[in-house]
A and B are shown apart, each in its own frame.
Chain A
Amino acid sequence: MTVFADQLLVLVMLINLVMLGSSRLIFSIRAVAVQGVILGILPGLIHPFSYHLAGITIGIILAKGVIIPYLISNAVRKAHIRREVEPFLGYVPTLLLGAVFTALAFVFAEKLPLAPEHRDLLFVPASIATLLIGFLLLTTRRKAISQVIGYLVMENGIFVFGLLLTEAMPVMVEAGALLDLLVGIFVMGIVINHISQEFSSIDTSRLRTLKEE
């Protein structure tokens, strides 16, 4: 089963790169939803079955695969934007940077003092790579919505790391983290709507100067 989990983690890392290369927001949102669903399947592959596990799987697939993408795409529709135009750093450079980050994540994971049973799995490098790429998305994209997507990718990275500990993690903590994320996305969706209503643009680089009326 761990071989299959590794293939899924490769898919997760590929989705990261796809998101770095795509300019269509709806496409990025779908990609992040697919990533969320994969993350939901993963715990079932590496841990033995329990009700706790089933609950986590369903909760994650619902939250990351359905509700959050729905909230963001709603915000996209209301703000009338389709594409990320002119990111701070172009798509090809970010793609290359993303590849370098992924490679560095592998190198870094080799150096970490991990438990022997986790050493040969892809979980740690995949989580670090996803985290770094989420960070890259957050910093290089101009639109508030792309930044929310970057934040989600970053959270997914943290989640992959947490997967190794699923057994030790109580349901309450898990549910709390998911709830935080949901509320966060909800608030960001509202904020984006307000920004686009007030300023007719959600380009965050224009939000630098304070204005008094």
Chain B
Amino acid sequence: MTDIIIHCLVALLIPPLLLGVIAKTKAAFAGRVGAPYLQPYYDLYKLLRKGSVFSETTTWVFRAGPIVTLAATLIAALLVPLGRHASPISFSGDMILFAYLFGLSRFFTTIAALDTGSSFEGMGAAREVTFSCLTEPTLFFALITLARMSKSLNLSTILTHPSPTAWLADGASMLLLAAALFITLLAENSRIPFDDPNTHLELTMIHEVMVLDHSGPAFGIILYGAALKLFVLGAVFINVALPIATGNALADWGIFIVAMLGLAMTIGVVESVMARLRLVRIPQLLVGATILSAFAMLLVLR
């Protein structure tokens, strides 16, 4: 019971902090002081108090977009096990639901963007859908590989199965999986080198351009949903890459939170040292990630 409460609290409260840590790391690399760690919380608070402006050309789809996106991501957050503890909701085959909850949230983000009738947002939607259909096989190959390793279709079992012994036994495929999942994490959350969350040039944006027309609370919900998505996919990555379990429930939660903050710092470092890829190179890297996870599956199936 306490685990479920901690799960919900961690999943609800930590995500914006990750964005703060990423921003702080990037600021440190650039030699700036940077915004405080809690800045994303202030931003969310500010946005939630504001009024919204809705364009007259939009319909209910535009308003439903952010809400459905956040709801789907929240359910995904309930499905994923955090810090070696089983997730609150789990059933056999929930890995497919998990993958397609992201599909659902993406679908609503893109049709909300198309609903505005803006050509820029349509372009962003097209890009987002193109790249996501290249990341989806990576996630699926990774989940299938882990499912095969743990002989289960239950996301909780699949993701708590990796352990130091599994790393020793199948080191190569675990390493491939971790690399593929990290690339997926960066691509799905529109981070550099795939997309720049801070860009202000519509022509080069992917994810950010789709949410240009949202304002006030709706935009706050989108920001929070994006942070939550980073958190959920980050948790999947941490479960595979750092499978440390002490046995003590509270210590495990501590390790998990520290690992998530470490992951946020890693993302900050990656964003600081890498340049954005040219748009034509992105599919190549995404296909490369798919091949990595397919290769991991091949090694496990052998």
Contacts and interface: CB of A to CB of B under 8 A. Distances in A.
Contacts, number: 38
B299 interface: yes
A21 B284 contact: yes
Nearest to A105: B298
A190 interface: no
A10 B173 CA distance: 9
A148 B287 CA distance: 26
Nearest to B283: A92
A33 B152 CA distance: 41
A17 B288 CA distance: 8
The 5 A-B residue pairs whose C-beta atoms are closest, nearest first, are: A10-B172, A99-B291, A7-B172, A92-B287, A92-B284
A6 B176 CA distance: 14
Interface string A61-103: 0000000000000000000000000000001100110110011
Contacts of B287: 92, 95-96
20 contacts: A3-B171, A7-B171, A7-B172, A10-B172, A10-B173, A10-B299, A13-B295, A14-B176, A14-B292, A17-B291, A17-B295, A21-B284, A21-B288, A92-B284, A92-B287, A95-B287, A95-B288, A98-B291, A99-B291, A106-B302
Contacts of A106: 298, 302
Contacts of B144: none
Nearest to A106: B298
A99 B176 CA distance: 14
Contacts of A98: 291
Contacts of B294: 99, 103
Given A95-B287, A96-B287, 18 more contacts: A13-B295, A14-B176, A14-B292, A14-B295, A17-B288, A21-B284, A21-B288, A91-B284, A92-B283, A92-B284, A95-B284, A95-B291, A96-B291, A98-B291, A99-B291, A99-B295, A103-B298, A106-B298
Nearest to B296: A10
Interface string A15-28: 00100010000000
Interface in A89-134: 91-92, 95-96, 98-99, 102-103, 106
Interface residues of B, number: 15
Interface of B: 171-173, 176, 283-284, 287-288, 291-292, 294-295, 298-299, 302
Most chain A CB within a 10 A radius of its CB, from B171, B173, B295: B295
B164 to A, nearest CB: 15
Contacts of B299: 10
Contacts of A13: 295
A21 B298 CA distance: 20
Nearest to A18: B288
A50 to B, nearest CB: 28
A13 B172 CA distance: 11
Contacts of B288: 17, 21, 95
A102 B295 CA distance: 8
B170 to A, nearest CB: 10
A96 B287 CA distance: 8
Contacts of B302: 106
Contacts of A102: 295, 298
A37 B291 CA distance: 24
Contacts of A92: 283-284, 287
Contacts of B284: 21, 91-92, 95
Nearest to B134: A92
Nearest to B291: A99
A91 B283 CA distance: 10
Contacts of A96: 287, 291
Contacts of A7: 171-172
Contacts of A99: 291, 294-295
A99 B173 CA distance: 15
A90 to B, nearest CB: 9
Most chain A CB within a 10 A radius of its CB, from B172, B283, B284: B172
Interface string A116-159: 00000000000000000000000000000000000000000000
A6 B298 contact: no
